[in-house]
Amino acid sequence: MGKCTIFRGMIIVARKGVTAQELDSIRERVERLGLRTHLSIGESRTIIGCIGEESRLRSVPLLSIPGVDSVHPVMRPWKLAGRDFAADPTTRIQVGPHLFGGSACLVAAGPCSVEGEEMMMETGRAVAGDGAALLRGGAFKPRTSPYSFDGLKEEGLRILARVREETGLPVVTEVLDPRDAELIAGYVDMLQIGTRNMQNFALLREVGQLQRPVLLKRGMSATLKDLLLAAEYVMSKGNMQVVLCERGIRTFGTEMRNTFDLAAIPWLKQETHLPVVADPSHAGGRRDLVAPLSFAAVAAGADGLIVEVHPDPGNALSDGDQSLAFAGFTALMRDLGAFAEAAGRKL
Amino acid sequence: MGKCTIFRGMIIVARKGVTAQELDSIRERVERLGLRTHLSIGESRTIIGCIGEESRLRSVPLLSIPGVDSVHPVMRPWKLAGRDFAADPTTRIQVGPHLFGGSACLVAAGPCSVEGEEMMMETGRAVAGDGAALLRGGAFKPRTSPYSFDGLKEEGLRILARVREETGLPVVTEVLDPRDAELIAGYVDMLQIGTRNMQNFALLREVGQLQRPVLLKRGMSATLKDLLLAAEYVMSKGNMQVVLCERGIRTFGTEMRNTFDLAAIPWLKQETHLPVVADPSHAGGRRDLVAPLSFAAVAAGADGLIVEVHPDPGNALSDGDQSLAFAGFTALMRDLGAFAEAAGRKL
Amino acid sequence: MGKCTIFRGMIIVARKGVTAQELDSIRERVERLGLRTHLSIGESRTIIGCIGEESRLRSVPLLSIPGVDSVHPVMRPWKLAGRDFAADPTTRIQVGPHLFGGSACLVAAGPCSVEGEEMMMETGRAVAGDGAALLRGGAFKPRTSPYSFDGLKEEGLRILARVREETGLPVVTEVLDPRDAELIAGYVDMLQIGTRNMQNFALLREVGQLQRPVLLKRGMSATLKDLLLAAEYVMSKGNMQVVLCERGIRTFGTEMRNTFDLAAIPWLKQETHLPVVADPSHAGGRRDLVAPLSFAAVAAGADGLIVEVHPDPGNALSDGDQSLAFAGFTALMRDLGAFAEAAGRKL
Amino acid sequence: MGKCTIFRGMIIVARKGVTAQELDSIRERVERLGLRTHLSIGESRTIIGCIGEESRLRSVPLLSIPGVDSVHPVMRPWKLAGRDFAADPTTRIQVGPHLFGGSACLVAAGPCSVEGEEMMMETGRAVAGDGAALLRGGAFKPRTSPYSFDGLKEEGLRILARVREETGLPVVTEVLDPRDAELIAGYVDMLQIGTRNMQNFALLREVGQLQRPVLLKRGMSATLKDLLLAAEYVMSKGNMQVVLCERGIRTFGTEMRNTFDLAAIPWLKQETHLPVVADPSHAGGRRDLVAPLSFAAVAAGADGLIVEVHPDPGNALSDGDQSLAFAGFTALMRDLGAFAEAAGRKL
């Protein structure tokens, strides 16, 4: 048995004014050799990404195919996730009526756990009124101890769906088990992969086969390369709708729950075309840090935030210390505007 | 909906000379209240561990039940995994003809990946000849990149089974996906949960329902508390046969693949009755460190080792840099004896 | 010999409208018992901090002394550095014509090393023109290798003094050796304690005896508690003019030079009255990250920045990769304004 | 002003049977060019290490000088500390009657702080009786808080000297301030550089100018490269007697005081000729871990240990939790012998 292929991938940049027919025939030519192609049409350029056994391309005079302007190998270990692989600096990913990766800063808000319909409905109305773009809430909860509350399961999904109907907010929730992925995708608008599952490759492949946007949270000791390769797992199965999330890493620090690796945001914006959001609630683990971390994330270029909000944080079933009450969320959204504007975004 | 139960568990120590009938009736009394019990008969004492809604026990005059000597609450977050929960300091776990947790130091050896039948057969014979107790080899491989070789799957399992038949070595292999767990358990003697899946709770629960010993590797940024709670997940589903494995953690260090947290071994030996082994191959990531790290692990009290051995490390499909060639493994086993003896163990 | 005193300290809050005479007599009363006092007069309250053998205070009816409103013990391990110890949330520290800790966001700029007079003069003029408040530059350089360039020493100090004369910029430079502290303090306006010396207690005590503001950089694996206790060393010797600096910590991350612990900024702002600045150059170690990290630091509440700027970064003797060229600094200062304004500050 | 010299160093291996005269003339030839030389005569080979502006050597036909066998550039950033720079795998360093780096495993024992003469005398006698080779004890103590006990200073040194006189044990103590180095060197046999001062370059240079062996403890977030470069600082000033000490690093782990980086020991033994010892007391921070960590360190190849022992750990002024009582030290020394023997050493 041979050594692993060190796989590089290839990018074909199309000539300005390339026609749809030309694009089709370029892709057909590449796919005939057993490679997969991905078309990315941006504001100023068009790109055909090629994934597969690149050595087969060597025999093809690619530059002489009509519509081809130039051809570039992809040197990084991530291909589909790499910034060069897309025509625009940031890919737009639609969730409900909103676009991640555009000029808006999208805020997802809601409790750690879906604890019941009333509290979810109340939260949904409150955060919608303050300008949140999505509702978050866990129906299947990963817990460090097997004896902790682990969520309402499908009943939680039904609650999320009813709150969406009522408030118009698209809904994001976590999936833990590949066997639940399809069920969950039937209820919600965006699937979250949690920090403990960032390298659960069976799960990544499963959500890669669904056509639902994925919110991929960074593992607590994952390098940024690991994160991009996890995104690559999802994308390599065909689902290109991945939003990355910095949520703090595990370091020697003891004063806060995690260490918010803010610099990950601009680093990722340079390396990938995928939108990047931040989770200031888990990053700091303290309610009073949520606002300054949110301001900083947006100042550093984040495409959005995911914030824990609970009607009564002192009695939350999980993560109460880091959840904002409604008044705190209202204040956050009010103050965030100036930073979003300084960063050239609308809230 | 109420707050989470903070669950404490309870240990009933039986009187010396307790009869089987008395034990039965103690357990029955506890189980009638809706709690689960676990009986542990050790060399010098017998313990009935109780898991469930402990408040129900308060109404029962436990100390007046015949055969009961004393009753102790379990204060640590882990219950079944805690050292107090077992009658002996280390629980013995049988894998093939061998016992983890006894006076022997068990060595599992073999390649990172099952690459083919011939290389596995050759490796199995070699390591068996040097005194290895188990054969290791991955049929389903977790890989950071979706483009890396990820194993021979069921064909790999069949190869492992054939090598076991030939060499008599019981076999340990990794399970990545809960949907594969039963299939894999049908072929092998011990199921490995890898470092990236230590908090894959769906997978932990799945192997908790099988009656196969589990080798649970520490997550690369897991605290020791996290590790014991992961073991608790498996045990809380009924599978008490868990062996813990220290394999190095992720730190700021750059000279080695991981930082071998040797002190985890004696720490765990004090907190849990589960056997503890070390993986010197992943810990250092370098062939020339395998021997000194093995000596140290055994000196610090490890119940065994898991070592990567390959017929031709320079051409291994994965982890070649840290794999011993046969001669290296022979030397390791030869030199390890003196350290095992100093630690009061047989190799 | 007795056990260590667990030292707690005490804060006396003065009554509104307290007179100078009353304050004097409160302090005299406390000092007569062998304790030291520190007076802090803020916008809305006046505080007398007491440091020393607090048990002696127990015999004194403090609340009946005229001018005393209330008395509070200090529970944190840091006393003088604690937020309660000062009358205002942030203490103002004057460096040249500027105040750290006021409504301005002060930017110190300049090269890592003072390499010669011409390059310093050129840099000083450039950064002054863009609105920098201070000039930075190392004359005594800590280097990981004994064979690296370690600074121009006193000649570097003379150059700094000449650039100050020319540009009006106050100057900050690092002190490495307690024997050099007084010499350096004779030339410059602010003494920097570098990351490798944050727990060089001999050096901290030495600068604590000088009346020069101190820029105290966080150690690369220092907790925030360690940082505040290092400040306490300086302050306990009488020098209360300490500015803290977050400059990135050492973690498992490999993509950047350090991990910028942005959340340290708002955490410190809550725990201490000392001003807090950030060093985006060392934090990321990459020129292209300086701007986003600067925006984020200011958004999170930083009182200032310290930025590496070099006339020709490609040929810098040290830290060239993370130094901005003049044009980069001009752009940074231009774009930073909007974030400072959003944070309620002037640049 | 030019770029930094990237300094490489050069090793001249002498011909078998080289004469003293030939060695002299080789050294003279190199030194005449402004380089420094260091002669290392080992059991099977003789080496002349050259440090300085290596480009000057290019004009010299080194291989034609009588007595020269071969010439090798040193590629690593450390030169004098590199394994190639010495004729033997481990350099022997004499402290009192003992040799670090020989076939013995040397144990230094004693309290964290010198608290008084009686307790030191008692400790010295006890540990000498159990086979300790050196006495340790801090007279100048680095403390995280300025309000903690920081040592008896010169009185502590006088006590150490008196215990040495009485017990015959050579003494090691920490130096914190370059201004104290000479004073301390006048009293003790070995100077310790503590973990917080590993990159206190002023202090390293100072002890580099004294002719006292140095025990250099690894910084709590120092890479092994940093540690070797810190040794290089001392050696580059002329003091070649450096013993390295692994004492645990700072990681995310919370269960123990530090993370004992055991693999550092064999890694260092391959990269440097300097002896390597371990500090199991600080590494684990817990009395009950001292023995297993000691066994492991010796099994992994350590040349010695430094262990905290106190007559009454429960009342120690510092580090009581990790100090052994006399009985514990007796047991440690008794059990250590078998591991030392397995590692080919005498205790």
* Percent of chain C scoring above 70 in pLDDT: 98
pLDDT at site C6: 47
Q: With a CB-CB cutoff of 8 Å, which residues 149-168 of chain B face chain A? A: 149-150
* pLDDT tens digits along A235-274: 999 999 999 999 999 999 999 999 999 999 999 999 999 9
Q: At what angle do helices B287-299 and D287-299 cross, to 10 degrees?
A: 140
From residue B100, alpha-carbon distances to B262, D144, D338 in Å are: 19, 44, 24
D4: left (phi over 0), alpha (psi -120 to 50) or beta: beta
Contact with chain C for residue B254, Cβ under 8 A: yes
Q: Strand pairing partners for B106? A: B304
The letter for the amino acid at B328 is G
Q: Output the six-digit token pair for A148.
A: 């902790």
Query: Above 80 in pLDDT, residue A4?
Result: no
Instruction: Please enumerate in sequence order all residues whose Cβ is within 8 A of that of B344, keeping only pairs 6 or more positions apart, or say none.
Output: B103
- Beta strands (DSSP E) in chain A are 10-14, 36-41, 46-51, 68-73, 93-95, 98-100, 106-110, 134-136, 171-174, 190-193, 214-217, 242-246, 276-278, 304-308
pLDDT digits (tens, 9 = 90+) for C15-31: 999 999 999 999 999 99
How far apart are the CA of B250 and the nearest CA of chain C, in angstroms? 6
Quote the ipTM score.
0.94
Chain A residues with CB inside 8 Å of B117's CB? none
D148 pLDDT band, cuts 50/70/90, is confident
Q: Which of residues 291-330 of C touch D (CB under 8 A)?
A: 315, 317-318
Q: What is the second-level CATH architecture of the domain D10-75?
A: 2-Layer Sandwich (3.30)
CA–CA separation, B78 and B87 (whole Å)? 16
Mean pLDDT across the stretch D73-87? 89
Contact B245, B215 (CB under 8 A): yes
Q: pLDDT tens across C172-197, in order?
A: 999 999 999 999 999 999 999 999 99
Is the CB of residue D272 less than 8 Å from the CB of residue D77?
A: no
Nearest-by-CA chain A residue for B150: A4
The H or E element containing residue B242 is: strand B242-246
CATH homologous superfamily of D93-342 equals Aldolase class I (3.20.20.70)
Q: State the pLDDT confidence band at D156, using cuts at 50, 70 and 90.
A: very high
Rounded-to-integer distance, Cα B227 and Cα B216, Å: 8
Residue B148: which pLDDT band, with cuts at 50, 70 and 90?
A: confident
Contact, C98 vs C305, CB < 8 A? Answer: no
Query: How many residues in chain D?
Result: 347
To the nearest whole number, what is the mean pLDDT of chain D?
94
The residues of chain B that CATH labels 3.20.20.70 are 93-342
- Which is higher by pLDDT, D29 or D7? D29
| C-alpha distance from C68 to closest chain A C-alpha (Å) | 32
CA-based nearest residue to D229, from D267, D275, D272:
D272
Task: Please indicate whether residue C172 or residue D143 has the higher confidence score (pLDDT).
Answer: C172
B neighbours by CB contacts (3+ pairs under 8 Å) = A, C, D
Residue C36 pairs with which residues in a beta bridge? C51
Render pLDDT for D51-61 as a digit per residue (tens, 0 to 9): 887 778 777 88
Residues of D with Cβ-Cβ distance to C139 under 8 angstroms:
none
The residue among A75 and B166 whose pLDDT is bigger is B166
- Rounded to the nearest angstrom, the minimum Cα separation between D121 and chain C is 16
D46-51: strand order across its sheet: D36-41, D46-51, D10-14, D68-73
Residue type, C178: P
pLDDT computed for residue A331 by the predictor: 98
Indicate the average pLDDT of chain C: 94
Q: Is B144 on the interface with C (CB under 8 A)?
A: no
Digit-coded pLDDT (tens) for B246-278: 999 999 999 999 999 999 999 999 999 999 999
Mean pLDDT for D72-87 is 89
CA-angle at C325, arms to C322 and C327, nearest 5°: 135
pLDDT at D7: 53
Instruction: Give the mean pLDDT of D286-303.
Output: 98
Q: What is the pLDDT of residue C335?
A: 98
Contact D250 A252 (CB under 8 A): yes
**Chain B CA closest to residue C256:** B252
A-B C-beta contacts closer than 8 Å: 93
- Assess D99–C contact: CB distance below 8 Å, yes or no: no
Tokens describing residue B181: 């767990």
The residues that bridge with C306 in the sheet, in sequence order, are: C108
In this structure, of B130-134, B139-143, C96-100, D318-322, the range with the lowest mean pLDDT score is D318-322
Asked if residue A3 has pLDDT above 70, the reply is no
> Would you say how long chain C is, in residues?
347
Which among D200, D206, D226, D259 is the top mutation candidate for probing chain C, defined by the most C β-carbons within 10 Å of its own β-carbon? D200
pLDDT tens figures, A305-339: 999 999 999 999 888 899 999 999 999 999 999 99
* CATH 3.30.70.1140 domain position(s) in chain D: 10-75
The verdict on a CB contact (< 8 Å) between B4 and A149 is yes
Which chain A residues are within 8 Å of D251, Cβ to Cβ? 252
pLDDT value at residue B2:
32
Check if C270 contacts D (Cβ < 8 Å). Answer: no
pLDDT band, residue C4 (cuts 50/70/90): very low
Contact criterion met (CB < 8 Å) for D262 and B265: no
Query: What separation in angstroms does the CA of D59 have from each of A200, D29, D54?
Result: 60, 12, 10
Cβ neighbourhood burial of B162 (10 Å; 0-12, 13-18, 19+) = middle
Give the pLDDT band of residue B225 (cuts 50, 70, 90).
very high
Q: Write down the pLDDT at residue B7.
A: 53
Q: Chains near C, with 3+ CB pairs < 8 A?
A: A, B, D
DSSP labels for C114-155?
A: ---HHHHHHHHHHHHHTT-SEEE-BSS---SSTTS----THH
Q: Specify the pLDDT at position A43.
A: 85
Q: Does C255 contact chain B (CB < 8 Å)?
A: no
How far is it, in rounded angstroms, from Cα D311 to Cα D126? Answer: 9
Q: Which amino acid is at D285?
A: G
**Contacts of D331 by beta carbon, 8 Å cutoff, 6+ apart:** D291
pLDDT at B152 over 70: yes
What residue of A is the nearest CA neighbor of D249? Answer: A252
Is a pLDDT exceeding 80 seen at residue A54?
no
Which value, in Å, is the radius of gyration of the alpha carbons in chain B? 21
Q: What is the pLDDT of residue B3?
A: 35
Test the B interface: residue of A53, A196, A198 with most B CBs within 10 Å: A196
Under 8 Å between Cβ of A199 and B199:
no
CA-based nearest residue to A203, from B192, B223, B201:
B201
Contacts of A221 in chain D (CB under 8 A): 252
> What pTM was estimated for this model as a whole?
0.94
Q: Is D133 within 8 Å of D107 (Cβ atoms)? A: yes
Do the chains contact at B202 and A116, CB–CB below 8 Å? Answer: no
Instruction: Select from A261, A265, A269, A305 the residue whose CB has the most chain C CBs within 10 Å, as the one to mutate to test that interface.
Output: A261
- The pLDDT value recorded for residue C8 is 67
With a cut of 90, say whether residue D326 has pLDDT above it: yes
